Structure 1
């Protein structure tokens, strides 16, 4: 398990949109692409891609799968573990 969390951290750090999403998820229970884009001055498409990447890795899940737009996401148990380690490993980095 520890190795996979470290691999997730490396994967997140390799692309800035993932770093932005991880920082957002540390502070918010629910994530929506348009809200994150607005707060971080990124395009909604860029953030939507990061959300899809995190969902594909099992770090987040969609809580409104019936919607085609304005979807909301939350961390999975694995995502919470990665977020906790992220906070420890990146405090003071940014």
Structure 2
């Protein structure tokens, strides 16, 4: 994870619709794929894939299938879980 405080990560997530939508889509789920989130949220798969890569780069998500080029599966890290919990607490 980059040198970010928890509050900075939270602000970074909610400052982008695609990141916020992706985090919200993780509620009640353990694993997500970009195509599934895109379909459910009326976003493009590329838009959601980009958000996944952004969150992965900040240590909020982890790819379970990095060897695949498509249909990758992602989970939230412990930090990602904490950010999601804080978003829920703040009614995002």
- Return the TM-score normalized by structure 1: 0.88
Task: Report the Cα offset of residue 52 of structure 1.
Answer: 0.4
| Alignment correspondent of 1:12 | 13
Could you say what secondary structure the match of 2:48 adopts?
helix
Q: State the match for 1:56 in structure 2.
A: 57
What is the alpha-carbon distance in structure 2 between the residues aligned to residue 47 and residue 72 of structure 1? Answer: 12
More helix by share: 1
CA distance in 1, matches of 2:41, 2:23: 12
Matched ranges for 1:12-31 at <5 A: 12-31=13-32
The SS at the match of 1:27 is coil
CA distance in structure 2 between the aligned counterparts of 1:32 and 1:84, rounded to whole angstroms: 21
Give the distance between the partners of 1:81 and 1:14, measured in 2 at CA: 17
The runs of 5 or more residues in structure 2 that have no matched partner are: none
- Count of matched residue positions in the alignment of Structure 1 and Structure 2: 89
Equivalents in 2 of 1:33, 1:23: separation in Å?
13
Deviation above 4 Å: which 4+ runs of structure 1?
A: none
- Is 1:46 the counterpart of 2:47? The answer is yes
Deviation of 1:27 (Å): 2.7
Pairing 1:78–2:70 present: no
TM-score, structure 2 length as denominator? Answer: 0.90
Give the secondary structure class of the aligned counterpart of 1:10.
helix
CA distance in 2, matches of 1:74, 1:88: 20
